[in-house]
Chains A and B, each alone.
Chain A
Amino acid sequence: MSSVTDVAPVAATRTPEGRPRRPRKPRSGALLGLAAWLIGFLFVVPVLWMVLTSFHSEEAAATNPPSLFAPLTVAGYREFFGVGTGTSPWPSLLNSLTASVVSTIIVLLLAIPAAYALSIRPVRKWTDVMFFFLSTRMLPIVAGLLPIYLFAQWSGLLDNIWLLIVLYTAMNLPIAVWMMRSFLAEVPVEILEAASMDGAGLLLTLRQVVAPIVLPGIAATSLICFIFSWNELLLARTLTGTVAGTAPVYLTGFVTSQGLFLAQVCAAAFVVSLPVLVAGFAAQDKLVQGLSLGAVK
């Protein structure tokens, strides 16, 4: 669609006087701003409610109507972290951390050279390769679940965190390749040319010329891969048990095994979500680029 054809019908409907209108009426502007605040507030209320409830006692959490101003306590958190009861979420939190961080590092090690070969010195048919990577991300995970399970059973990797690390790497690699390519594409080739004229080697060029430009991209890519790995449930639920279970798996078992304690559930949900909230707010500006696989900037 060229913008010229889009403009044509608008240009034809000129007001009779041909006078330009005021761009914005202040009162409707204020109302629309208020509407935006209201909708934003509605969307954030469940999260605020979760945080508030997590700091209430179980009795205050389960009242109807809700008791907004009940005294605050950290009893829910103490329960969640197993003070006194002995069931600790730490192993599962550490498993999640290991799986997310290690898989993200491997993803970067694989994706950065690949993105280099897809942008700065492109191989032939590089777009085909890009779309191959993308298509693997669109394959539903559930369709590969059985062979992976059988393989894990056969090789003794069931309930082993390394299996999750390998699978999360495969899950995030396409996103990382696409994101990294879109960042590397911003490296001005002239600089590379100049660097190679000066006789700088490949590694030196990468380190001194490319890295400063793409480091922010690497940071954003890792944060997004981290979020996807941390959130994953289906694979973890199927392939891990008591040893390598991750935080989302712990959450699903947490409610059924202990009955319902609302403040404790809210505390658990908040603690498990906290790393994602931090990573997400840190990557806020690049979030959309990662989620759209680099298609939107």
Chain B
Amino acid sequence: MSTALETSRGRGQQPPTPPPAPPSPSPGGALRRSADWARRAPLLPALVFTIVVTQLPFVVTLIVSFMDWNAYYPDERGFAGFGNYASVLTDVNMRQAIVTTVILTAVVVLVSLLLGMVIALLLDRQFRGRGVVRTMMITPFLIVPVAAALLWKHALFNPEYGLLNGTLTAIWRLFGSDDAPQPDWITAAPLVSVEVALIWQWTPFMMLILLAGLQSRPLDVIEAARIDGASSWQIFRYMTFPHLRRYLELGGLLGSIYIVQNFDAVFTITSGGLGTANLPYVIYQTFYQAHDYGRASAAGVVVVIGTIVIATLALRTVSTLFQEENAR
């Protein structure tokens, strides 16, 4: 019992390596082994469930990605080798989808990070109604993604009666002019339209993470620097920004993981048309409409490989924050 309590107290002192105390199942024998299992028991249901539901399907995807399998031609099922990968990587639509995915993810993540940081810095100060502004900022994130996409498509971007063009008309009227520009936003800039809607939803996410980062700054050190005569810019450049860096990384990486997977906005706003089809949308189409299971799986594996690259970086960042949290 006492070892158990000591380990739990010492937990997280050096997270990447396991806590030293629970001894390896050597001479201790059956008693210790059964104690080990008693410890593991509460964990097992969640672990087994996760492995079965999330890992098994992926293994099947991996297998199918090497097969010729189209539901429309059930007799031609067979081994395809790297054929599906070759066709995924050489197909014009797929290549376009990969490029679109990268652009969409990068633009949305970078712009919402930048906006989120500016807003977090503004909200980190004392001013009247700060809580209200914070609540207003969170609201876009709490609109169901499909609803948000519908809202942007029909109520804001619509060229005839959307709020954007309506506002333009109102402003031009104010100055006595009747020929306000009335762009057809989605047709003129389809990818940007999707990006704007996503940035609107994801800036609050970034803002929340960065605000939490700002509020975990050691205030006494900053106060000391200020007394020593550091300017606001110097404090930001040499103290706030280095402290925020890991929170920026975390927001950027988590945001990337979610936005790489985005389906709702592309599906709703443009239905993947006008060059906005990203990989999740194309995979959905290949599988749901063309029923080409082999190619859809190969494309899925490509997305996973791309995600693993981001996810490895994300895990490293989370692990750094995690260690600090536990070392406190």
Q: Which residues of A contact B (CB under 8 A)?
A: 1, 3, 6-7, 9-11, 13-15, 18-21, 23-24, 29-30, 32-33, 35-37, 39-41, 43-47, 49-50, 53, 61-66, 110-111, 113-114, 116-136, 138-151, 166-167, 169-170, 173-174, 177, 182, 185, 189, 192-193, 196, 227, 230-231, 233-234, 237-238, 247-248, 251-252, 255, 260, 262, 265-266, 268-270, 272-273, 276-277, 280-281, 284, 287-288, 291-293, 295-297
Contacts and interface: CB of A to CB of B under 8 A. Distances in A.
B34 interface: no
Interface string B98-139: 000000000000000000001100110101111011111111
Interface residues of B, number: 136
Given A129-B43, A141-B261, A280-B138, A37 B155 contact: no
A169 B50 CA distance: 9
Given A40-B137, A113-B45, A273-B143, A14 B229 contact: yes
A134 B307 CA distance: 13
> Which of A32, A174, A248, A291 counts the most B-chain CB atoms under 10 A from its CB?
A291
Interface stretch (B9-17, B73-81, B83-91, B187-195): B9-17
B142 interface: yes
Given A138-B307, A169-B53, 20 more contacts: A9-B238, A20-B229, A40-B132, A40-B137, A41-B136, A47-B139, A62-B160, A119-B8, A122-B19, A126-B19, A128-B18, A133-B46, A146-B64, A173-B50, A238-B284, A252-B146, A266-B155, A273-B148, A276-B144, A295-B250
Contact of B147 (A7, A133, A272): A272
Contact of A135 (B46, B303, B315, B322): B315
Interface in B235-285: 235, 238-239, 242-243, 247, 250, 254, 257, 260-261, 263-264, 267-268, 279-280, 283-284
A21 B229 CA distance: 6
Nearest to A141: B261
> Main SS of the interface on chain A?
helix
6 contacts: A13-B230, A40-B137, A122-B8, A143-B283, A146-B293, A230-B144
A259 to B, nearest CB: 11
B200 A43 contact: yes
A92 B76 CA distance: 39
B152 interface: yes
Contact of A10 (B16, B156, B204, B225): B225
Contacts of A132: 47, 50
B263 A134 contact: no
B212 interface: yes
A44 B140 contact: yes
A138 B257 contact: yes
Given A33-B127, A47-B139, A117-B39, A63 B166 contact: yes
B5 A146 contact: no
> Which of B43, B242, B314 counts the most A-chain CB atoms under 10 A from its CB?
B43
Interface of B: 1, 4-5, 7-9, 11-12, 15-16, 18-19, 22, 36, 39-43, 45-47, 49-50, 53-58, 60-61, 64, 118-119, 122-123, 125, 127-130, 132-148, 150-152, 154-156, 158, 160-161, 163, 165-167, 169-170, 173, 200, 203-205, 208-209, 211-213, 216, 218, 221, 224-231, 234-235, 238-239, 242-243, 247, 250, 254, 257, 260-261, 263-264, 267-268, 279-280, 283-284, 287-288, 293, 296-297, 300-301, 303-304, 307, 310-311, 314-315, 317-319, 321-322, 325-326
